[in-house]
A and B are shown apart, each in its own frame.
Chain A
Amino acid sequence: MKYTYLKITSFIILGILLFWSCTEPFNAFSNSYEEMLVVEATITDSLQQHTVKLSKTTPIDSKDISAESGAQVWVESNTGEVFQFSETENGMYLSDIEFAAESGKSYTLHVITSNGKEYISSEENMPQKINLDIYPEIGQDDLGNEGVRILANTAATEDETIFVKYEYTEVYKIVTLVNIEYDYSLENIVLDDNPSDNNCYTDFDIIITPRTENSSICYSFPTVSNTIIQNSSSNYPENRITGMPVNFVSKSDYKLRERYSILVRAYSQNYNSYQYYSNIKKLNSSSSQLSFQQPGYIQGNITSASNNNENVLGYFNVWSLSQKRIFMDHNDFGFPQPPYFAELDAPTIKPEMQPCPGPTNNDIFFNYYVSGYQLNQVIPGGGGYLLINPECSDCRNYGNNYPPDYWEE
């Protein structure tokens, strides 16, 4: 509610100003663009190739994201280890080898951009390890909808306050309403130039082949959390965070229809890293009337080696990772099975259909084909075709048609 109220108040203040005044668009940005380097770099105590993403700010009215390409990137430890990163795609740098950051050591990120500017992070230490446990619970979201809340219990391993950033990845099983056995394609297509007149001369040949690939049971492409979810144990007794809501799935959400899996990654952070993310979140989320809160540049832990006053965005994180995965479906909570995520649309194309009657050469058929409709059945004797909308018949657009390694039924 606090959040709602902020909005209300801001609105009122704005309203009063408007009332006395004239308001016009103001060309504030023409001279105000400042190009800054944005660094997203995280190394953890998990043995893997770590990534560093470099980009640049873009003008306010631009929609592009501009990658910082061709930079030299490496991480040094205070014990003299050097981990080189190489660019794999535009602005994405992957460590050449797998490595795990170790506690007791400190690490520094170095970046030399293609224009020769050098940036360096402060020395970061591995924070304490944490223990994570996650569990689902029936609950409500802010709007009062019922569903499943994914909660996390996180505990310190040392006698110190923990700061935790949560990320999650969701994967759910998709079972299409209809299992399609055939693939079809159109060949020798002649298109009607003017479909609106009653002259129909769209023509094609239909080639039907048996479908060999599974297209009815898939595992959704992973979706990753895109908001900053953080908490610290300071509000809880005994250096643990209990019942931290990480995600919410409505009981009518399709995700729970077959089987749902969520992987929660809890990163133990140090205080500064935690605070950096919470400031970023705060500044960009509380209200749309930006003028009524104090905006500004948030200082991270990366500075320019040559110009102390150059602002650099982003953070070099050294985090300790703890992760857990759970599976669930609607039955676990006694919810009715949620509906399929799309309405079934199963048109039948018959030869006598207007406006272009005929065995195959039908404008309507062609349009369904272009929209990706799947062929469910050929009515024998030239009686026509049964089609199914692709959402309900081919899950390969929404996921992989094989289960991930970790999948448990």
Chain B
Amino acid sequence: MNKYFLYLLTVLFSGIVYAQDTEPVYTIEFTEDNLEASILKIEKTTGFKFYFQDEWIKSSNSASITKKLTNQPIRAILTEVFSKTNLNFLITENKVILTKNILIRTELPNNFFDENDGTEDSDTTDINAPIFYKEYNFDDDNAITETPEATNQKESNENKNVENTELKFIGKEKTELTKNQLFTISGYIKSKKPQQGIPNVLIRTIDNKYSAVTDMDGYYSIKLPVGYSKLVVSSVGFNTIVQETVTYSNGEINFNLTESVTELDEVVVTTSKNEVLKRTAIGVTSIEAEGVKEIPMVLGERDIVKVALTMPGIKTAGEGAQGFNVRGGKADQNLTLLDNALVYNPFHLFGFFTAINPYTINSVDIYKGSIPTEYGGRLSSVMNIKTKDGSYEKFEGEGGIGPVTGNLKLSTPVFNNQASIMVGARATYSGWIMRMLDDKDLKNSDASFYDGIIKYSHKINDKNMLSATGYYSKDKFNISQDSLYQYSNQAATVNWKYIVNEKQNINVQLSNSEYKFNIKYVNNPGFNSDFGFKINETELKLKSNYYLNKQHRLVYGLSSKLYNLDPGYLNALDTDSNVNPVQIEKEKGLESGVFLEDQFTVNEKLSVTGGLRFSMFNAMGPSTQYYYESGLPKKEGTVTGSEAFDKNDIFKTYTGLEYRFSSRYSLSETLSLKLSFDTNYQYIHMLSTNTTQSPTDTWTLSDINIKPESSQQLSAGVFKTLNNNMYEVSVEGYYKKMKNVLDYIVGAEMFLNENIEREIVPAQGKAYGVEFLFKKNSGKLNGWLSYTYSRAFLRTTTAFNDEMINNNNYYPANFDKPHDFSLILNWKETKRFSFSGNFVYQTGRPITYPVGIYEFDGSKYTVYTNRNEFRIPDYFRLDLGVNIEGNHKIKKLAHSFWNLSVYNVLGRNNPYSIYFVNENDRIRAYKTSIFAIPVPTLTYNFKF
């Protein structure tokens, strides 16, 4: 028995094939034969059939062969013939398969099909007879030419960026396979640590002919042609995997991505270049948690949400102000979701901190436009905060200790690693700040907050995934000895994902959210009272993804949300209180939506996403609704009657058809143009007469007298990557129109007001802007520069003098800050030391000033400018920070780093607010600044 090794050209060929039969030998003579002639000769002589692509042979410049080979085995003959070419070969039975550049390994990887053994495809791994079609997908120009040596070297290197994995075979070879047949390969892409699906990972063939992106949970589905493909699996923050596959039929491949250590500490904004360039959505910002830990933050909190708010088009009122404004929208027009449950006020301490434990956040996506049809009910944006899954493998923890807060996150697997639990908690010990203050009144005050989150994830089987998140946050203030101020958020959500087949999956989601605040007024006999507000909503949502074919991916579903509001109450706290209890009538409403979206890949260059959302709002009783004289403003004096509605009576229904359209056209591999148009409706409105959002702002539902808000936005953008994705540049512009936005008549009163409609006046809004972003994604120096020029205006259209604001002319909205510039830079000196800086500039906010006094009807009154005619001084701030890491030994017990940051290095006295106080009949102006001095903070962070 002749038995010898078959080996391929390279030394480190990892697979060894033992021939079972006697090796036949052949004698063959080449005389000035070119490659093609040689192959024909071999075929004729040996009976082996060659499979290859014609161009390879034709393009091969190898010299012709003149040689006689006597009694040589086929392998020796081929080695001789192809030695001067860049072709490799594989011998199986009576076939010779040629490949260009790469090697084909014939050994089945140990973990072939990964953890999905037992699926229907797992028995289809006949590797002895691969069929390679001539037209298999390989293109010399784009090849990632990793030699096996290089791969092996890299494997010993922790910082590798590209992982080449072993060839995988998918399905079973069938003799009746036809050319160009496409098969669906699906699977799950997860990170190794923590074990959780990664969204927005791009899977593509190396020639970019076929590609797919994972969904929110890490699942993907890609069409691949029969035969050989080389897949590149990439996502920012993770090592790229290059996976060679041979496809015989539909099948499954799962990937584990390793976080790339070199990118771990960089600011990573948005996903890969392909994501930015290829997705049709415009105005979408994604921030991943791992990228932001070095940005200097006030009081030592690494706050991913705050980082997201530095992106162009998003404005905050500066420190001390909660809420944010997206593209000229009001602060109540943002849908803030935590694992798909709404959080009404995701901020602590008047906006200094995000009220979600930063260590538990995985990513934050903000849609400034192109809001997917599955979301609705807010005009301006969706901020989707997703938490991390707990580890399915081992007990892990992460935490931070700063001067104001302590943070801890723990996770552990349960049920034989089928499920995991993640718990995060944070509390403040900020009481000492108060005691340090000079002011005697404030010394006695107290402020504290805490929040907790728990997440349970369970992989029931390959088709069913269950996850549940619970969240609670609470803030408490005790400013003077006689008032106690509290607010809290709670949210709970259960999500069940069912994979019907490789083409379809279904999501069922049930969530409940609540926000409430109250103020207790104590130590003041006779006036001790409790004032408060509460809103609660419960939503059921069904959503399905359907991969119709290579060109169409459908998302459709429906959702329904029940609101219950307690718009205000005032109760006496003790029996001798003179306070008359007040209970404003509760509000109830049902908001429902049906949505359908088609992600249509027209061709390689053009893709279009079109969607419709039909939304409906039912205002429900019990309720008393007032009718007003038509042709007159809604005022106490113009009431014509009222009507009481019983429990669950639907007394008013509004509907809206919302169009969402976006498209992308690739001019080249690195340049694409996008255009989008969307419309939105909003049925719930925040009531706030403050210039900035505050925790005491209340909400109200649309009813007979309060119409839903609506908006239309047109946006366009140019996206470009440079230098192989090192730089990313984008310019986006938008124009937005809004209708029925709530504005308030001069002198509006909101607290405990039974008839809000008398205080508000519907306004039209218009907003436009240009957003510029320049980002350097990698290298020693990385970060981004963002600049936005934008304007936001409102105007009333009423015919009545007393509802008219600024004579019905457009006036700047409270958050109209035309120039907004942010520069965020990181400098990674060594692996252990890195520096970061953060500069922010914003135009001052508009304000209405008192401009004089006058005597009228026997009294003196103050006269004000037109609404928002003046501006407070501009805002700017520089923060600097340094990160010192422990060593990078992977096997270490705990990984830790110190962060020293200085907030407001320049000590700029940024005005937070300017307000006017009537002191002894004279109006005086005061300016309030928060952190008018540099604030240094040292934080210790650890991870195990």
Contacts and interface: CB of A to CB of B under 8 A. Distances in A.
**A: contact size bracket:** 35 or more
Contact of A21 (B629, B850, B928): B928
Given A33-B852, A286-B747, A313-B863, A1 B570 contact: yes
Interface stretch (B134-142, B371-379, B799-807): B799-807
B815 interface: no
B749 A8 contact: no
A335 to B, nearest CB: 24
B135 to A, nearest CB: 68
Given A272-B802, A290-B916, A279 B853 contact: no
A207 interface: no
Interface string B614-628: 000000000000000
Given A8-B531, A290-B918, 14 more contacts: A6-B751, A9-B696, A19-B437, A28-B849, A60-B852, A234-B639, A279-B802, A290-B915, A293-B748, A295-B746, A295-B747, A296-B865, A297-B746, A300-B801
Q: Name the 5 nearest CB pairs between A and B, nearest first.
A: A291-B915, A57-B852, A28-B925, A26-B927, A232-B637
Contacts of A210: none
Interface in A112-161: 161
B480 interface: yes
Contacts of B480: 15
Nearest to A27: B925
B849 A32 contact: yes
Interface stretch (B170-178, B439-447, B774-782): B439-447
Interface in A277-331: 277, 279-280, 282-284, 286, 288-301, 308-309, 311, 313-314
Contacts of B637: 161, 163, 232, 234, 271, 274-275
A296 B637 CA distance: 22
B485 A297 contact: no
Contact of B850 (A60, A308, A313): A60
Interface stretch (A98-106, A172-180, A221-229): A221-229
Contact of A38 (B442, B804, B806, B856): B856
Given A28-B925, A299-B807, A5 B752 contact: yes
B744 A15 contact: no
A276 B639 contact: no
Interface string B917-944: 1100011111111111000000000000
Contacts of B689: 292-294
B752 A296 contact: no
Contacts of B809: 309
B320 interface: yes
Given A272-B802, A277-B857, A21 B925 contact: no
Interface string B199-235: 0000000000000000000000000000000000000
Nearest to B570: A5
B802 A275 contact: yes
B639 A12 contact: no
Given A16-B485, A272-B800, A292 B690 contact: yes
Which of A9, A11, A35, A38 has the most C-beta atoms of chain B within 10 angstroms of its own C-beta?
A9
Contacts of B862: 60, 283-284, 290, 295
B55 interface: no
B638 interface: yes
B744 A294 contact: yes
A37 to B, nearest CB: 9
A65 to B, nearest CB: 5
27 contacts: A4-B527, A5-B531, A5-B751, A12-B483, A18-B928, A21-B932, A23-B929, A25-B925, A26-B925, A28-B849, A32-B870, A55-B854, A56-B854, A58-B854, A60-B853, A161-B637, A279-B802, A282-B749, A288-B918, A289-B917, A291-B913, A294-B746, A296-B805, A296-B867, A298-B747, A301-B801, A313-B863
B723 interface: no
B752 to A, nearest CB: 6
Contacts of B865: 32, 34, 296-297
B747 A282 contact: yes
B746 A279 contact: yes
**B: contact size bracket:** 35 or more
B866 A290 contact: no
A297 B852 contact: no
B914 A291 contact: yes
A59 interface: yes
B521 interface: yes
B277 to A, nearest CB: 43
A235 B755 CA distance: 13
B21 interface: no
A226 B854 contact: no
Nearest to A225: B858
B680 to A, nearest CB: 26
Interface string B679-710: 00000000001110010100000000000000
Interface string A239-258: 00000000000000000000
Nearest to B744: A294
Contacts of A8: 483, 519, 521, 531
Contact of B747 (A28, A32, A293): A293
A297 B850 contact: no
B667 interface: no
Contact of A297 (B749, B863, B927): B863
B237 to A, nearest CB: 35
A283 B632 CA distance: 21
Contact of B801 (A27, A40, A276, A282): A276
B925 to A, nearest CB: 4
Interface string B246-280: 00000000000000000000000000000000000
Contact of A23 (B519, B639, B748, B928): B928
B523 to A, nearest CB: 13
